[in-house]
C-alpha cells in the first residue's frame, strides 16, 4: 500500500488533472485496504484469505452540475480516462442547487487529533490461525456444545486520503482486528446456535481467545429448550448486543437525507424531549483507538465530540454540506462517503451514557417480561416509527432471568419506546455504537 504522503500526492494530482480538464471544483477520495483472514472449523484450517486493493474516486463539478466516477486501475492512462469521463458526465448531468464542496472555512487543513487508529502491527497468518484454533477450542469445550460453524481471526489495514480543489489534502491510516466463533448446542430439532466476537483497532486489545470462545459456547447452551410466552403487554429488556439497533434507528432518522426528504419519524422533533432526562447519547469521533474515530469527516471538515441527545432532548440533525445548504444550516462534521457517489451522513463512536441502576436492579421489579438477546428482520417504518421485529431471548419472572424463549415478536412505536427507555450502568466500549442494558416498559409481545 501507499504511505499516507504518497496517497495524498496521488489524490492531489488527480485534483490538478480535473482542474485542467475544466472542473470548477472537485474532490478526490483514495482508499487502499489490505487484510488477512483465517477460518478454522472442527480443529482444522478451513480458509486463509489475503486481499489487497486500492480505489480512487473523483467528484467533478461544472457549476451546479456534477458527476462521480471511480477506478481500481490507478495507471496513468486509466486516470486520464477517468477524468475525461467525469468531465463529459458532469456537463450532461442535471443541475443541483445544493451540490458542492464543503465550506472552505470548515476544512481541517492543519492540526487535528491523533486518534491512535493504527498500531502498525501485521500479524502473520500462523499467529492468526493459532488464535482462531484457540477460540474454537474454548467454544467446543463448553458442555452442551455439539458442533461448530467455525471460528475466525482477521487483521487489516487501510490508508485513506482526501483532497479538494479548495486546498484540503490530508490522509490517515487505520488498523483493525477481529476474532469470532459460532457454535451449535443440542441435537436434532432442538439445536440452537449463538456466537461471540470482538473487534478492535489495536491487536493487543482484542479479548483473549478463551474469552471469545467460551462466551459463544455458553450463549448457545443457554438457548437450549426454549419455552413459549403468552402474548401481552410487558417490559422488554434489551441486551447491549441488540440494544445498539435502537440507536441505529435514531441516527438514521436524524440524518440529513431523511430530514431533507421528509422521510423521518422525527421530522418535527428537533429540540424535543425524546427520552427521559437521565438519557444522554454522545458522539465522540476523537476517542482514542475508537472503531470509528477520525480527525476529519468525508468532506474534510473537522470532527468534534457532541451530544446527539442531551438530558433527553434531541439537539439537532447530522448534516453534510449539501443537506445543510438545503436546510439553511451549517454542516455538522458528520459527512461520510464511499469511493463513488455523493457524501451522506453518519455518526462516529456513539454511546448512550450509563444510568444509575445495575442490570439486576433494572429488572428486579419485573413480574413478567422478556430479556432480548437476538432480533430478527427489519420491521421498522422510518416514516412513522412503527416497530415490529422477531426476537428471542429469555423470560423474566419475578425479577430474575429464567428460561429461554424463542419465536416471539416485540412491537411498539419508536417515539413511545424512546420515552419509556431506562439505561442500566453497564456500558462498555466494544462496538461503534455502545449502549448499556436497556429497559422499555409496555411493549406488545406476540407469543404462543
Backbone angles phi, psi at 66, to 5 degrees: -150, 160
448: burial class by Cβ within 10 Å (0-12, 13-18, 19+)? exposed
CA-CA distances (angstroms) from residue 27 to 10, 65, 153, 228?
12, 14, 35, 56
Predicted structure pTM score: 0.95
Give the rounded percent of residues in the chain with a pLDDT score beyond 90.
96
Beta carbons within 8 Å of 135's beta carbon, 6+ residues apart: 151, 153, 179, 180, 181, 209, 210, 212, 213, 216
346: burial class by Cβ within 10 Å (0-12, 13-18, 19+)? buried
Q: Running DSSP on this structure, what letter comes out for residue 98?
A: T
Q: Running DSSP on this structure, what letter comes out for residue 296?
A: B
The string of pLDDT tens digits covering residues 223-236 is 999 998 999 999 99
Question: Are 69 and 89 in contact, with CB atoms under 8 Å apart?
Answer: yes
Q: Is residue 112's pLDDT more than 90?
A: no
Q: Is residue 448's pLDDT more than 70?
A: no
- 192-200 and 400-413 as β-strands: parallel, antiparallel, unpaired? unpaired
The string of pLDDT tens digits covering residues 123-177 is 999 999 999 999 999 999 999 999 999 999 999 999 999 999 999 999 999 999 9
Strand partners, 164: 27
Beta carbons within 8 Å of 20's beta carbon, 6+ residues apart: none
Beta carbons within 8 Å of 136's beta carbon, 6+ residues apart: 40, 41, 42, 43, 148, 150, 151, 181, 183, 213
H-state helical runs in 115-238: 125-140, 209-222
Closest CA to 132 of 50, 218, 36, 223: 36
Beta carbons within 8 Å of 57's beta carbon, 6+ residues apart: 28, 29, 30, 68, 69, 70, 338, 339, 340
H-state helical runs in 205-286: 209-222, 240-253, 256-260
Residue 183: predicted pLDDT: 98
Q: Evaluate whether the domain defined by 4-220 bears CATH number 3.30.2290.10.
A: yes
The string of pLDDT tens digits covering residues 37-66 is 999 999 999 999 999 999 999 999 999 999
- Chain CA centroid to CA 414, Å: 20
Q: Where are the domains of the chain?
A: 4-220, 226-448
C-alpha–C-alpha distance, residues 132 and 37, integer Å: 10
Tell which wins on pLDDT, 127 or 377.
127
Q: SS3 for 1? A: coil
Residue 244: pLDDT band with limits 50, 70, 90: very high
Amino acid at each position: 500500500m501507499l504511505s499516507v504522503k504518497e496517497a495524498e500526492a496521488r489524490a492531489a494530482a488527480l485534483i490538478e488533472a480535473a482542474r485542467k480538464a475544466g472542473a470548477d471544483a472537485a474532490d478526490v477520495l483514495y482508499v487502499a485496504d489490505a487484510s488477512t483472514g483465517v477460518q478454522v472449523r472442527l480443529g482444522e484450517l478451513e480458509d486463509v484469505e489475503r486481499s489487497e486493493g486500492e480505489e480512487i474516486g473523483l467528484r467533478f463539478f461544472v457549476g451546479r452540475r456534477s458527476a462521480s466516477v471511480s477506478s481500481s486501475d490507478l495507471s496513468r492512462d486509466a486516470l486520464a480516462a477517468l477524468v475525461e469521463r467525469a468531465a463529459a458526465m458532469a456537463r450532461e448531468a442535471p443541475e443541483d442547487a445544493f451540490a458542492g464542496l464543503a465550506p472552505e472555512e470548515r476544512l481541517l487543513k492543519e492540526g487535528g487529533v491523533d486518534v491512535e487508529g493504527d498500531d502498525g502491527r501485521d500479524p502473520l497468518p500462523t499467529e492468526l490461525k493459532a488464535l482462531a484454533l484457540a477460540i474454537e477450542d474454548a467454544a467446543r469445550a463448553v458442555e452442551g456444545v455439539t458442533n461448530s460453524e467455525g471460528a475466525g481471526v482477521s487483521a487489516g489495514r487501510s490508508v485513506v486520503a482526501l483532497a479538494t480543489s479548495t486546498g484540503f489534502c490530508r490522509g490517515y491510516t487505520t488498523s483493525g482486528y477481529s476474532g469470532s466463533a459460532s457454535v451449535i448446542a443440542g441435537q436434532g430439532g432442538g439445536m440452537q446456535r449463538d456466537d461471540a466476537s470482538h473487534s478492535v483497532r489495536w491487536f493487543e486489545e482484542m479479548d483473549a481467545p478463551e474469552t471469545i470462545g467460551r462466551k459463544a459456547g455458553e450463549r448457545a447452551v443457554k438457548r437450549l429448550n426454549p419455552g413459549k410466552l403468552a402474548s401481552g403487554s410487558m417490559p422488554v429488556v434489551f441486551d447491549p448486543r441488540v440494544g445498539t439497533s435502537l440507536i441505529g434507528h435514531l441516527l438514521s432518522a436524524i440524518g440529513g437525507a431523511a430530514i431533507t426528504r421528509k422521510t423521518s419519524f422525527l421530522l418535527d422533533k428537533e429540540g424535543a424531549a425524546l427520552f427521559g432526562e437521565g438519557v444522554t447519547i454522545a458522539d465522540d469521533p476523537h476517542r482514542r483507538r475508537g472503531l470509528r474515530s477520525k480527525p476529519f469527516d468525508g468532506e474534510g471538515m473537522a470532527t468534534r465530540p457532541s451530544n446527539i441527545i442531551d438530558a433527553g432532548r434531541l439537539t439537532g440533525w447530522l448534516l453534510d454540506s449539501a443537506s445543510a445548504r438545503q436546510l439553511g444550516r451549517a454542516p455538522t462534521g458528520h459527512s461520510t462517503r464511499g469511493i463513488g457517489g455523493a457524501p451522506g451522513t453518519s455518526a462516529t463512536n456513539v454511546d448512550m451514557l450509563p444510568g444509575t441502576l445495575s442490570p439486576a436492579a433494572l429488572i428486579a421489579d419485573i413480574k413478567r417480561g422478556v430479556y432480548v438477546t437476538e432480533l430478527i428482520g427489519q420491521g421498522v417504518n422510518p416514516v412513522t416509527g412503527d416497530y415490529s421485529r422477531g426476537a428471542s431471548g429469555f423470560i423474566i419472572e419475578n425479577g430474575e432471568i429464567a428460561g429461554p424463549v424463542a419465536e416471539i415478536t416485540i412491537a411498539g412505536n419508536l417515539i413511545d419506546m424512546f420515552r419509556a427507555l431506562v439505561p442500566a450502568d453497564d456500558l462498555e466500549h466494544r462496538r461503534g455504537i455502545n449502549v448499556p442494558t436497556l429497559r422499555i416498559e409496555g411493549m406488545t409481545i406476540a407469543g404462543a
